[in-house]
Amino acid sequence: MPTESASCSTARQAKQKRKSHSLSIRRTNSSEQERTGLPRDMLEGQDSKLPSSVRNTLLELFGQIEREFENLYIENLESSHSTSQLSQKLKTTYKASTSKIVSSFKTTTSRAACQLVKEYIGHRDGIWDVSVARTQPVVLGTASADHTALLWSIETGKCLVKYAGHVGSGKHCLRRNVFLFWPSLWQQISGEDEVECSDKDEPDLDGDVSSDCPTIRVPLTSLKSHQGVVIAADWLVGGKQAVTASWDRTANLYDVETSELVHSLTGHDQELTHCCTHPTQRLVVTSSRDTTFRLWDFRDPSIHSVNVFQGHTDTVTSAVFTVGDNVVSGSDDRTVKVWDLKNMRSPIATIRTDSAINRINVCVGQKIIALPHDNRQVRLFDMSGVRLARLPRSSRQGHRRMVCCSAWSEDHPVCNLFTCGFDRQAIGWNINIPALLQEK
């Protein structure tokens, strides 16, 4: 029993110590307790040996200390918040200012190196395609949704010839105005029958085109094997054969002199959007809405091989050859990709943009890609994916609607780049290529 009572006594003493400790902690928080209206005598421990006056003084002092710390804590919070806001504001202002300065430098460089020289106005509807003659005389050609194709003098901007052989209505005629240049000849290719139009059958589409501009309504040759809209065409090396791409999901290879169909290239799952031939070899590349482009090899007459390339996630709007063994493809997925024909498993360069890309063109000599966009912009990149410039555009110059196509004419002294769009105009630009490459 004595042992048990001793242990009980020890337990009571430990309990009282814990209670006294908890009471002392509660006393240091006196200001908070006073704010809640608790009576002072509840804060006083019953086991304290200090006189009440000393105890009250200590409580007051601890309360003052607590209030001081509380004020300091609040000031620190406010100071930290204001400092954070100031820091963020400085960062935002600095970033905006820096971006503005850098953009101004880029804009100045682009304007100095890229000059609008001539506007070719005369079509009554959007212009789908633009091209430059590969032989003398060097003239500009445009094909429009107004069912006409026009030849222009690059220097004067005057319309030289108007071709009005295409007839019909609806969207299937919007893109039938595909044109090719043949030495001293103009050749139209269509997927429908050509007829001679009288003046009363043809609507007044002259617009700004001079009345003395000769009009040709009867084609030299008609190539009639497609079952749908002919969306593009190009000459195979040698100038005796031409390849066409159609919405009937096929591309056709023709002998132009005899108008005979040589090969029908099938395999695409959806409508074709473009075709392009290699400048020195019997190679053809076709692009399609099925997100692929295909390489057709006609170098061996007995074997016609085809390779399918899947590198985009949306419609491939165009694919073109460059010097050497490279192919450049553009897509509605807002990317342009550069491929090596020797290893087409993955692109060697990828350009990511903010808008869908239409018919691209490559300056072969300087390896510069011109990108026409849905958002009215035209941008220039090199083959490694480095952006060189953006063509100037404002309310007074440049394209006002979607830019459909671009075409380089490297050696022309007046204009070496041409663009066209849905604003019914083609524009000739002078690009100072050495200045662009120097800035890079």
Long-range contacts of 416-423 (CB under 8 A, 24+ apart): 416/363, 417/363, 417/370, 418/130, 418/132, 418/140, 419/130, 419/370, 419/372, 419/378, 419/391, 420/127, 420/128, 420/129, 420/130, 420/142, 421/126, 421/127, 421/372, 421/376, 422/126, 422/127, 423/126, 423/399
Overall average pLDDT of the 53-63 stretch: 86
Q: Considering the domain boundaries, does residue 36 fall inside one?
A: no
Q: Do 341 and 325 form a contact (C-beta atoms < 8 A)?
A: yes
| Alpha-carbon span 84 to 76, nearest angstrom | 12
Q: Considering the domain boundaries, does residue 93 fall inside one?
A: no
Distances (CA, A) of 243 to 8, 55, 233, 407: 108, 105, 6, 19
Instruction: Name residue 309's beta-bridge partners.
Output: 293
pLDDT attached to residue 222: 85
**pLDDT tens sequence across 216-264:** 888 888 888 899 999 999 999 988 999 999 999 999 999 999 999 999 9
Helix axes 2-28, 52-113, angle to 10 degrees: 50
Q: Considering the domain boundaries, does residue 362 fall inside one?
A: yes
pLDDT attached to residue 399: 96
Q: Which two tokens stand for residue 151?
A: 């030849």
| Residue 430: how many other CB atoms lie within 10 Å | 17
Most confident range, picked from 14-18, 43-47, 83-87, 178-182? 83-87
Q: Which two tokens stand for residue 131?
A: 């091209």
What percent of the chain lies above the pLDDT cut of 70?
A: 71
Q: Look up the CATH number of the domain holding residue 388.
A: 2.130.10.10
Q: Which two tokens stand for residue 215?
A: 């009009």
Residue 228's domain comprises 113-181+211-437
| Alpha-carbon span 432 to 391, nearest angstrom | 12
DSSP letters along 222-237, please? -----SS-EEEEEEPT
pLDDT attached to residue 84: 67
Q: Considering the domain boundaries, does residue 300 fall inside one?
A: yes
pLDDT attached to residue 55: 83
**pLDDT tens sequence across 267-284:** 999 999 999 999 899 999
Give just the sign of the alpha carbon dihedral 195, 198, 201, 207. positive
| Alpha-carbon span 19 to 9, nearest angstrom | 15
Q: Considering the domain boundaries, does residue 198 fall inside one?
A: no
| Alpha-carbon span 207 to 286, nearest angstrom | 34
Number of structural domains in the chain: 1
* 3-state SS assignment for residue 186: strand
**pLDDT tens sequence across 154-174:** 999 999 999 987 654 323 232
Confidence of residue 202 (pLDDT cuts 50, 70, 90): very low
**pLDDT tens sequence across 326-385:** 999 999 999 999 999 888 889 999 999 999 999 999 998 889 999 999 999 999 999 999
Quick one: which of 209, 114, 232 has its CA closest to 152?
209
- Model-wide pTM > 0.85: no
Distances (CA, A) of 107 to 110, 269, 372: 5, 42, 18
CA–centroid distance for 166 within its chain: 33
Instruction: For residue 154, count CB atoms less than 10 angstroms from its CB and return exposed for 0-12, middle for 13-18, buried for 19 or more.
Output: buried
Quick one: which of 304, 299, 300, 254 has its CA closest to 281?
299
Beta strand 260-265 pairing with 272-277? unpaired
Q: Considering the domain boundaries, does residue 42 fall inside one?
A: no
Q: Kindly compute the dihedral angle of the four CA atoms of residues 333, 337, 340, 345, in this order, to the nearest 10 degrees.
A: -40
Q: Considering the domain boundaries, does residue 197 fall inside one?
A: no
Q: Considering the domain boundaries, does residue 96 fall inside one?
A: no
